[in-house]
Homo-oligomer: A and B are copies of this chain.
Amino acid sequence: MKKPERLPSLSEDFSRWYNTVVQLAGLAEYGMVRGTMVFKPYGYALWKSVMRYLGQMIEDLGVSDVYFPMMIPYSLLKKESEHVEGFAPEVAVITHAGGEELQEPLVVRPTSETIMYAHFKNWIRSYRDLPLKINQWCNVVRWEKRTVPFLRTTEFLWQEGHTAHATESEAAVMVREALDMYDRFAKQYASLHGIKGYKTKGEKFAGAVYTTTIETLLRSKKALQLCTSHMLGQNFAKAFEIQYLDKNNKLRYVWQTSWGLSTRFLGAVIGHHGDDYGLVLPPYLAPVQVVIIPIIKKEANKEEILKTADILEQMLRGQDIRVFVDKSDHSVGYKFNEWDIKGVPLRIEIGDEEVREKSLTVYLRVTRERKRLMMSNRVYVQIKELLSEISALMYERSKAFIEENTHEVKNMTGLKELIKDGAVGFIKVWFKDDQKVADMLQDRFKITPRVIPFETYDEIGNDFITGEKGARITLFAKAY
C-alpha cells in the first residue's frame, strides 16, 4: 500500500502534512474569525476522551469541578502586577453589551486566577476550609498572531485546576501531584513520553513563583508543552487578600497552585504519533478503536461476511470497545486509506478466506502489519490485549524518539554545528538560567529553554556559554 497521494510526506514537509491530515481526517477546520478553529465530530471526540479519563484522574485527586464566569472585570485582572503584564497584551475586550457601552470593560478569560481568587477570599475563613481544590473545564481566549490547528488557536478548550493550602510544602506537593497525574495520563492514555521539569524564570507563568512542565517533541523535532503546573506561592493570596485563621487563631495567607492541560495536547497526539499514512491514534483516546471492514468479492459469501462483522461488532461493543463497521459503498482500497488517515489503531478485515477459515485478519495501524486471529466468542480478549500492546508499543516508540532526538552540546561551537538549519530536537546543555544568554540564543538560533529536567536537577555544573558556576542541565529547542 502506497501512502495516500493527497497527504504530503511528513518527513519532507511536516507543516503541510500536519495541516492536511487535520483536514483529511476530519478533525477540525479554520473558523471565520482569525485564529479560531471548529472542532469537527472526530476531533471533538478526542477531546471527550481527554475529558473522560483525565477528568476521572482529577476527581481521584480530591478535586471538585466548578464553573466560573468567562467575563472578568478589567480591574480584577490588574490586581496581580506580573499577571496583568503577562496577559494584558493578548486579551479580548468586551466594551459594549445589551446595546450600551459598559462602564468598565470586561476581558474574556485568558485563564481564571483573578476571577476565581476574588471568590476564594470569601470561601476561605479558617484552616478547616483548606485545602480547597477545584477544577473547571472551559474555553479561554488568548489573541494569537499565527494559528496552527490545536497547537495555537485564539480560543481553546482546557481544564484549569486551582488549589489553596495552609502551607508552602503542601502546595509544593500539589504542584507535583498534578504534574505526575498529567504524566500518567500522557503515558497511559496517549502513549506520549515527555520530560518533566521546571520552566526557566523567563518561561514561567505570569504571576507564579515557579512553573513545572512536561515537554515533548513532535515529528518536526520542535518541542511542545503538554501541560503546566504552577506554584503561585502567596503572590495572588496577597493581591486578593486570601487569608485563613490557623489553629492558633492567627491570620495567614494561603499558598496556591494552578495547573492546566488544553486542546494543545491533541496537537501532540497528532504531531508526535503520526506518519506518512496519516494519524496514528493511541488506543485509549481513539474515537474509533476498532474498524471492521467487510470485504465482499463473491455475492455468495456476502451474507456470511456481514453476519460475522455484526456478531463481532456486538461482541466488542458489549466489552466497551469503540467499534465501527464500514459498510459504505467505497472500494476496499479507499476504505483502507481512509481509516489509515484517521489513525484507527486496529482494523479487522473479514473476507472470503476469513469466513472459510473462521478467522479474522487484524491490521495494526502503528506497525502496518497484519495478524491472523481465530474467530471465537472469546476473541475480544485477544483484541483487548492487542489494543493494550499497541498502547505500550507506541509509548516505547515515543520514548525512543525523544531519546534519539536529544543531543548534548558542550559549547557554542557544538551548538552551531548541531543546528545548522532546521529543528534538531532537544539540545541538552548546562545553563545558568540567565535571561541575557536565553535572549541571545533565541535571537541567533530561534531556540528557547524548554525544561530543566527534575531528573538531573540536583547536579550543578558550569554554564555552556559563560562558563559560570551554578548551571543546571536544561533542554533547549525550537518550539511551538
Contacts and interface: CB of A to CB of B under 8 A. Distances in A.
A138 interface: yes
A390 interface: no
Interface in A128-158: 134, 138-139, 141, 143-145, 154-155, 157
Contact of A70 (B40, B72, B155): B155
A38 B65 contact: no
Given A47-B67, A108-B94, A73 B41 contact: no
Interface in A52-104: 64-73, 76, 88-99
B138 A29 contact: no
Contact of A139 (B70, B96, B119, B134): B70
Contacts of A143: 97-99
B95 A99 contact: no
A69 B37 contact: yes
Q: Which of A33, A66, A105 has the most CB of B within 10 A?
A: A33
A418 interface: no
Nearest to A95: B95
A106 interface: yes
A45 interface: yes
Nearest to A119: B38
Contacts of A95: 93-96
B94 A66 contact: no
A32 interface: yes
A99 to B, nearest CB: 5
Given A90-B98, A92-B96, A41 B66 contact: yes
A48 interface: yes
A44 B69 contact: no
A315 B417 CA distance: 65
Given A65-B45, A65-B48, A73-B33, A97 B106 contact: no
Contacts of A32: 69, 72-73, 76, 115, 118
B33 A71 contact: yes
Interface in A423-465: none
A47 B139 CA distance: 17
Given A106-B33, A115-B32, A138-B139, A66 B93 contact: no
Contacts of A155: 69-71
Contacts of A134: 41
Contacts of A141: 70-71, 97
B119 A92 contact: no
Nearest to A47: B67
A65 B134 CA distance: 26
Nearest to A98: B143
A95 B38 CA distance: 22
A318 interface: no
B94 A89 contact: no
A14 interface: no
Given A65-B48, A155-B69, A155-B70, A96 B93 contact: yes
A31 interface: yes
A256 interface: no
Contacts of A119: 29, 38
Given A89-B98, A92-B97, A44 B70 contact: no
A86 B88 CA distance: 33
A31 B69 contact: yes
Contacts of A65: 41, 44-45, 48
A185 interface: no
Contacts of A115: 31-32
A39 interface: yes
A211 interface: no
Contacts of A76: 32
A64 to B, nearest CB: 4
A188 interface: no
A75 to B, nearest CB: 9
A44 B136 CA distance: 10
Interface in A322-366: none
Given A93-B95, A97-B91, A69 B33 contact: yes
A423 B134 CA distance: 40
Interface string A1-40: 0000000000000000000000000000101110011111
Contacts of A139: 70, 138-139
6 contacts: A32-B115, A33-B71, A38-B66, A67-B157, A92-B94, A95-B96
**Nearest 3 CB-CB pairings of A with B:** A98-B143, A41-B64, A36-B69
